[in-house]
Amino acid sequence: MSRVFPAYTYGQGPREHCYWPATATPPHFPAAEGAITCDVAVIGAGFTGLSAALHLAEAGSDVVVLEAQDLGWGASGRNGGFCCLGGSAASDSMLAKLYGEPARRDFRTAEHRAVDLTAGLIERFAIGCDTHSRGETLLAHTRKAMNAFDAKARLIERDYGVTATITPQQDLAAKGMNGPFFGAITTPIGFALNPLKYVIGLAGAAGQAGVRIFTGSPVQRIDRQGAYTLTTPRATVTAKRLIVATNGYSSDDLPGWLRGRYLPTQSNVIVTRPLTEAELAAQGWTTHQMAYDDRFLLHYFRLMPNRQMLFGMRGGLFSSAAADARMYQVVRQQFEDMFPAWARVETPYSWQGLLSISRDLTPFAGPIPGMPGAFAALSYHGNGVAMGTYAGALLADLVQDRVPRNLYPKIMQTPPRRFPLGRFRRAALWPVYAMAMVTGG
Ligand SMILES: Cc1cc2nc3c(=O)[nH]c(=O)nc-3n(C[C@H](O)[C@H](O)[C@H](O)COP(=O)(O)OP(=O)(O)OC[C@H]3O[C@@H](n4cnc5c(N)ncnc54)[C@H](O)[C@@H]3O)c2cc1C
Q: Please say if the pLDDT value at position 366 is more than 70.
A: yes
The most distant pair of C-alpha atoms in the chain lies apart, rounded to whole Å, by: 66
Over range 91-106, report the average pLDDT. 96
397-411 pLDDT tens trace: 999 999 999 999 999
Give me the percent of the chain exceeding a pLDDT of 90: 91
- Report the pLDDT value the prediction gives residue 298, as an integer from 0 to 100: 86
Over range 295-322, report the average pLDDT. 90
Q: Indicate the pTM of the whole model.
A: 0.96
- Sign of the CA dihedral running 18, 19, 20, 25: positive
Is 354's C-beta closer than 6 angstroms to any atom of ligand 1? yes
Is 262's C-beta closer than 6 angstroms to any atom of ligand 1? no
- Report the pLDDT value the prediction gives residue 438, as an integer from 0 to 100: 52
Q: Please say if the pLDDT value at position 424 is more than 80.
A: no
| Per-residue b or e along 201-229, where b marks 16 or more CB atoms closer than 10 Å to that residue's CB | bbbbbbbebebbbbbbbbbeebeeeebbb
Residue ranges per structural domain of the chain: 7-81+195-262+359-422
- Report the pLDDT value the prediction gives residue 437, as an integer from 0 to 100: 53
Ligand 1 centroid, distance to 73 Cα (angstroms): 8
Strands (DSSP E) contained in 276-348 are 290-293, 299-303, 309-314
Between 140 and 420, residue with greater pLDDT:
140
Which of 64, 65, 58, 37 has its CA nearest to residue 209?
Answer: 58
320-336 pLDDT tens trace: 999 999 999 999 999 99
Position in ligand 1 atom list of the atom nearest CA 10: 47
Is 66's C-beta closer than 6 angstroms to any atom of ligand 1? yes
Is 356's C-beta closer than 6 angstroms to any atom of ligand 1? no
Is 388's C-beta closer than 6 angstroms to any atom of ligand 1? yes
- Report the pLDDT value the prediction gives residue 268, as an integer from 0 to 100: 96
Over range 197-212, report the average pLDDT. 98
Q: Please say if the pLDDT value at position 306 is more than 60.
A: yes
Position in ligand 1 atom list of the atom nearest CA 44: 34
Position in ligand 1 atom list of the atom nearest CA 249: 37
Q: Please say if the pLDDT value at position 114 is more than 70.
A: yes
Ligand 1 centroid, distance to 43 Cα (angstroms): 12
Give me the percent of the chain exceeding a pLDDT of 70: 96
Ligand 1 centroid, distance to 69 Cα (angstroms): 12
**What's the rounded Cα separation, in Å, for the pair 380 and 267?**
13
Of the pLDDT bands very low, low, confident and very high (cuts 50, 70, 90), residue 170 is: very high
Q: What average pLDDT does the structure give for the chain?
A: 95
Q: Please say if the pLDDT value at position 432 is more than 80.
A: no
Is 290's C-beta closer than 6 angstroms to any atom of ligand 1? no
Of the pLDDT bands very low, low, confident and very high (cuts 50, 70, 90), residue 18 is: very high
Over range 79-90, report the average pLDDT. 97
Ligand 1 centroid, distance to 229 Cα (angstroms): 24
CB 243 within 8 A of CB 42: yes
Is 71's C-beta closer than 6 angstroms to any atom of ligand 1? no
- Report the pLDDT value the prediction gives residue 200, as an integer from 0 to 100: 98
CB 254 within 8 A of CB 244: yes
CB 112 within 8 A of CB 160: yes
Position in ligand 1 atom list of the atom nearest CA 380: 19
Is 363's C-beta closer than 6 angstroms to any atom of ligand 1? no
- Residue among 18, 76, 111 to mutate when testing ligand 1 (max atoms within 8 A of CB): 76
Q: Which CATH number fits domain 7-81+195-262+359-422: 3.90.950.10, 3.30.2320.30, 3.60.130.10, 3.50.50.60?
A: 3.50.50.60
260 SS3 class: coil
Of the pLDDT bands very low, low, confident and very high (cuts 50, 70, 90), residue 4 is: confident
